[in-house]
Structure 1
Amino acid sequence: MRRFVLISLTACSLLGSLPGMAGSGGGQRKATAGGPAPQRLQVEVLEALPHDSAAFTQGLEMYGGRLYESTGVLGRSSVRAGPPGRTPAVRAQLEDSLFGEGITVIGRTMWQLTWQNRVAIERDSQTLEELRRLPYAAEGWGICYQRHRRRVVTSDGSAQLTYRDPENLREISRISVTDYGRAVTHLNELECVGDTVYANVWGTDTIAKIDTTTGKMTATVNAGGILNTETQAGLLNGIAAIPGTDQFLITGKNWPTIYRVRFVQWTTPE
């Protein structure tokens, strides 16, 4: 497979066609008194790696050279860790009554959310052994850890991000994510990079880039061209920043491939 293949945008306007996103329905919007328009980005594919097509991906994160992944579906939910593109070195299965969701590593431990079970699971990040369970008074969707701020960021499918204490997941504060003052809804799997959060927008092939200080969406990444509808059955879901680089790993629910990519400036297809 050729490397450094540039994936182009789909034909529809990116900013005017997404659930929960404001837009003009046309091309790039102009800057206003409220600040510059969100950047339009696309995916540059650097490498394709094998991925377990049975994995209903709910969370994805790189830490300490390992790729951590959480999967969902009742009776099939799990968490696993190992080198990207290889069989996971360790794996833990959830009981049939739990629907696994987002994960994030906090040094020696990690958190795994569940969807509607109202429980969060703390695990040993090396062995994946369960350490404790805590009540979680919300639907669990995405989660990531802002190390420099010592806080966890979570999503629940709405337009809000909730900041939480990493020790016990108690709520500290919330912020609404907006695009020109309008709510950006369906925020799903999350990835923290400094003061930025990248969020899959559920039901789309779009990743929102969010300033966690202001709540403003600063860019949209269109990954629609990466989807091969003949082999990839599920939605785009899963973003893992590769530490020390400007690269990411992205995949989707039941995809046979995980892609190493960069997010680059959008260019008009020729």
Structure 2
Amino acid sequence: MRFAAYIFLVLISSAAHSETAPAAVEPVIYGHKILETYPHATDAFTQGLFFDGDTLYESTGQYGQSSLRRVDIETGQVLQITALPPTHFGEGAALVGDDIFVLSWREGTAFRYDARTMDLEKKFQYDGEGWGLTYNGEDLVMSDGSAQLRFIDPETFTEKRRVTVTLRGQTLNHLNELEWIDGQVFANVWRRNVLVRIDAQSGAVTGAVDLRGLLPEEDVVPGQTDVLNGVAYDGQENVLYVTGKNWPKLFKIELVEREKNH
């Protein structure tokens, strides 16, 4: 593997634990190509990002500011918004049929909203923290800041199973925002400018996307612009949309596989 790709994996691995798994998988390394750049609301502490057809939804965090939003992708304008209780810190979100589920960070509460009206329909309780959320067509897939992915029954919000995520045989911590793409889970790694692609059955990281330098330095506002977070998939074009917490821009990107040395 090229030296730059090797260094990139070392950077990711610093978020991993020393606990080892039975087998190690060598992930494919991807760079990225920016296809389009869109405005993004800088008051959005982005936690979840997903499409429903052509409609972009976003969940945001911070106590007293957490929300679920429907967004005009071309302008970044918020078209519809519902606030979470000020006592709850909003986290990941996912669409299940006509409903949207939104996690909270430390409050152990998941909210289910009507996707059209954004009216609250029901609340569920869970143990531990809530970070990222996605839907695989049967189960909700949830991260909690550890190396674990939980598979959740959306009808009852009861846990069905867990998978431990490993990078090169070591457990990978700080899994955050999630997106289900073609049978695998893409996840932000908190405080790392990287997405990892995870085999949903084994938990092995099969790919890593280098997003260093995605947001230009001139767009970074000290004390305001936070970490990369937020990934949505457009299956029609086979592209990703990514942003970050309080970022001024949303990026449409395609993945570019990096060459290996022979």
Q: 1:145 aligns with which of 135, 140, 157?
A: 135
Q: Residues 102-181 of structure 1 correspond to what in structure 2 (within 5 A)?
A: 102-147=92-137, 150-181=138-169
Q: 1:211 aligns with which of 193, 196, 199?
A: 199
Following superposition, the deviation at residue 266 of structure 1 comes to 2.2
Is residue 58–residue 100 contact of structure 1 (8 Å, CA) maintained in 2?
yes
Identity between Structure 1 and Structure 2 (%): 35
Query: Which amino acid is 1:220 matched to?
Result: A
Distance 1:156 1:103 in 2: 13
Q: Residues 34-53 of structure 1 correspond to what in structure 2 (within 5 A)?
A: 34=23, 37-53=26-42
Distance 2:9 2:117 in 1: 42
Following superposition, the deviation at residue 115 of structure 1 comes to 0.3
Q: Once superposed, which parts of structure 1, at least 4 consecutive aligned residues long, lie more than 4 Å away?
A: 9-12, 33-36
Is residue 15–residue 22 contact of structure 1 (8 Å, CA) maintained in 2?
no
Is residue 67–residue 83 contact of structure 2 (8 Å, CA) maintained in 1?
yes
Structure 1 residue runs without a partner (length 5+): 1-8, 24-32
Distance 1:239 1:10 in 2: 24
RMSD: 2.1
Query: Which amino acid is 2:155 matched to?
Result: E
Q: Secondary structure at the match of 2:191?
A: coil
Residues 123-151 of structure 1 show CA distances to partners (whole Å, capped at 9, x for unaligned) of: 0011211111111222110000001xx11
Q: Secondary structure at the match of 1:226?
A: coil
Against the structure 1 CA distance between its residues 117 and 54, is the aligned structure 2 distance closer, same or farther, given a 3 Å change threshold? same
Distance 1:22 1:119 in 2: 28
Query: Which amino acid is 2:235 matched to?
Result: P
Would you say 1:183 and 2:182 are equivalent positions? no
Against the structure 1 CA distance between its residues 37 and 10, is the aligned structure 2 distance closer, same or farther, given a 3 Å change threshold? closer
Against the structure 1 CA distance between its residues 182 and 11, is the aligned structure 2 distance closer, same or farther, given a 3 Å change threshold? closer
Out of 128-137 and 169-178, give the one that drifted further. Answer: 128-137
Structure 2 residue runs without a partner (length 5+): none
Residues 234-270 of structure 1 show CA distances to partners (whole Å, capped at 9, x for unaligned) of: 10000000132210100000000000011111259xx
Residue aligning to 2:8: 14
Query: Which amino acid is 2:58 matched to?
Result: E
Residues 48-91 of structure 1 show CA distances to partners (whole Å, capped at 9, x for unaligned) of: 00100111000000112111100000111111013313312211
Against the structure 1 CA distance between its residues 69 and 10, is the aligned structure 2 distance closer, same or farther, given a 3 Å change threshold? farther
Distance 2:66 2:4 in 1: 32
Would you say 1:241 and 2:233 are equivalent positions? yes
Q: TM-score, normalised by structure 2?
A: 0.89
Distance 2:96 2:40 in 1: 24
Would you say 1:260 and 2:248 are equivalent positions? no
Distance 2:226 2:259 in 1: 27
Following superposition, the deviation at residue 36 of structure 1 comes to 5.2
Q: TM-score, normalised by structure 1?
A: 0.87
Residues 164-197 of structure 1 show CA distances to partners (whole Å, capped at 9, x for unaligned) of: 1011221000010012221011100000113110
Q: 1:75 aligns with which of 35, 53, 64?
A: 64
